[in-house]
Amino acid sequence: MNIRGPLSFSEVDLQSISELISIIDCSLYQKSTDMLHQATDSNAALLFEIDKVKQQRRLLAASSTERFDEDIGAHLDTLITYQLEHQPHQYYLIPDQVHQRYPHATYLVNHQIEGYLGTLVNHTASGDRIYLFISLTQSPITEPAMLIQWHRLVSQVVMQYRRYQHQTNRTDVLLNRLNYEVSHDDLTNLMNRSFLADTLERLVSASQSQFSFSLGMLDINDFKYINDLYGNYIGDQVLRFVAHAISACVQDEQLTFRIAGDEFAFITFDPQPDMVCQEILTRIRAGYQDVAHHIRISASIGIARHKEESNNADQLLLNASLALKNSKKLCQPDICCYDTHLSEEYHRKNQVIDALRDALSKDLDEPQELYAVLQPIVRQHQLNWNYFEVLCRWQSPVLGDVSPTEFIAAAEQSGLIIEFGYRVIELACLAKQQIEQSLGQKIRLSINCSAYELNQQHDYIQTLKERITHYGFYPGEFTIEITETALLSQRQVTRNILSNLRDAGFKVALDDFGTGYSSLNYIHNYPIDCIKIDASFIKNMLCNDTSEKVVSLIIQLANQLGVDLVAEGVEEEQSLARLYEMGCTQIQGYLFSAPLQPEMVIHQLLGQKESN
């Protein structure tokens, strides 16, 4: 029997201790028992992990002078149980005669185990899981202090590893959670817009000479209506339903994305991406259904394909969004593939917006690109014109003549419409001032007001009054024209705005009358001074019985309400005669005059004076 006692720390190679401390994987358990066994000259050095709650024990590592052919844990069960129940402090020492105290423990008896030292170390802060280090010696333990020192060293190294492992695991969990949160959409669990951008960058770089793919962008039609009607909770369920429909058709979860409120995207390598789109739309058209609801849903999809020599990721995103916008604009079909003409339209629109912004930035004393033209509104038998609608024209040094339809749409889309409206007021006042000073007679002007300006009612009315007062004019010299579609929402607010305009002294005219879907039903509720019949009815009046009946009905309505009436777009003598016959006596259109610049209006009115 070897009776060498435990080695001192100085007798053990410091390099071995250093190597033990540097281990950061589970091999540390075995290395620890190896060192403990070697340094203490034990029969066996053991390391158990004990779960006190589940009352389970697991041998993590064992080092012995000979190979274990039996379950050493079972042989030590009584001894370990006694230590846990009656010696719960850190160390439990039996210096000699262990095999005699536990004669039923076969291993202890067979190996004539004399000494036992068990060291308990809490594995967790709650103490429900612990480590138990055991040294079994075949000689009595005569130097327990040194043996305990070795147990303390090894247990501290193992616990340091456990703390490191805990921190590493926690860090991994936090990193995984953070990675999930920064890459996923919380509501639908699809990937988010940021991840889409990164994915496109990777795919575009990887696919330069390997493969092509398609990017689809999907938008739920009329989702705001669904949200407003059913509430945000059901709206969220609809979003999840659509996300599930996309995921069911695009198998790779990292290729499906929610990129905005009701806007989604997906990437497919299918050579026929339109078939994938049709499958998605078919699922969506089935509608969202729960116990209390069955909501019909439709969606629009824009597709942009990336081929070997195609554009970068940003351009691909832009192309898909342009295709989606075109799909929603056309309504049918639901799927639109990108075409180069969409980019041409997009760049043209941006050019118009940039040029319009520059035009509006010029002071009024500078040469103007935007200018006012006036079209007369002529009463039957009237010899001298004194009432004009103010229209705006644009001669851009960069773009040439830009149509009103194009630049007004650009102003609305870019948020320049308010500034544009104020500029038109200034141009109208300057034109009125020029004409009146040249002719020595007063004229009345009609100025268009957009729905956007109505939404800024206080600022608009205040600015309107300030500008016309600045030029020495009065509200009664102006009529404010609003389009019929501006009346279709927020009716009480609109009614208040129109009342405020009239209270300030302005006349109010309703432009493009007859184009709204319920105009005849609610027009009597608004404070209106004049109705302007839309030009489309006038142009079709002679060849379409329905148009003529609509015009006749509007004339009767105006008479019943006691408001003025103007027919727009009159270009033929026959139309003029028929309107006079039906009782409409105020006419606007090319039959009398095209819109004229102030100089030409002056010339025209001077000619009328001479003729009279």
Phi, psi of 441 (to 5 degrees): -140, 150
Whose CA is closest to 353, among 395, 391, 409?
409
Instruction: Please state, in angstroms and rounded to a whole number, the distance separating the CA atoms of residues 357 and 277.
Output: 39
Instruction: Please state, in angstroms and rounded to a whole number, the distance separating the CA atoms of residues 520 and 592.
Output: 29
Residue spans of beta strands (DSSP E) within 315-369: 335-337
Matching residue, tokens 């200018």: 371
Instruction: Please state, in angstroms and rounded to a whole number, the distance separating the CA atoms of residues 164 and 25.
Output: 10
H or E segment to which residue 600 belongs: helix 598-611
Long-range contact set of residues 487-490: C-beta below 8 Å, sequence gap at least 24 = 487/516, 487/519, 487/522, 487/526, 488/516, 488/517, 488/518
Task: Count CB atoms within 10 A of the CB of residue 538.
Answer: 26
How many residues in total does the chain contain? 612
In order, the DSSP letters of 132-153 are EEEEEESS--S-HHHHHHHHHH
Greatest distance between any 2 Cα atoms in the chain:
144
Instruction: Report the amino acid identity of residue 348.
Output: R
- Using omega within 30 degrees of 0 as the cis cutoff, is the peptide bond preceding 333 cis? yes
Residue spans of beta strands (DSSP E) within 458-506: 478-483
Q: Which of 568, 572, 573, 610 is catalytic?
A: 568
**Any bridge partners for residue 267, and if so which?**
215
- DSSP tag of 379: E
**Per-residue CA distances from 228 to 231, 387, 491 (Å):** 6, 45, 18
**SS3 for 63?**
strand
Task: Count CB atoms within 10 A of the CB of residue 574.
Answer: 10
- Antiparallel, parallel or unpaired: β 564-567 and 530-533: parallel
Residues 6 or more apart whose Cβ sits within 8 Å of residue 149: 9
Task: Check the CA dihedral 388-390-396-400 and report its sign.
Answer: negative
Annotation marks residue 366 as catalytic: no
In order, the DSSP letters of 294-322 are EE---EEEEEEEE-TT---HHHHHHHHHH
Residues 6 or more apart whose Cβ sits within 8 Å of residue 37: 44, 45, 63, 64, 135
Instruction: Please state, in angstroms and rounded to a whole number, the distance separating the CA atoms of residues 99 and 116.
Output: 10
Q: What's the gap between Cα 5 and its chain centre?
A: 73
Instruction: Please state, in angstroms and rounded to a whole number, the distance separating the CA atoms of residues 322 and 470.
Output: 45
Report the alpha-carbon angle 387-393-395, nearest 5.
150
**SS3 for 64?**
strand
Instruction: Please state, in angstroms and rounded to a whole number, the distance separating the CA atoms of residues 497 and 485.
Output: 15
Instruction: Please state, in angstroms and rounded to a whole number, the distance separating the CA atoms of residues 293 and 285.
Output: 15
Encoded tokens for 373: 């033209």
- Residues with a catalytic annotation lie at 568
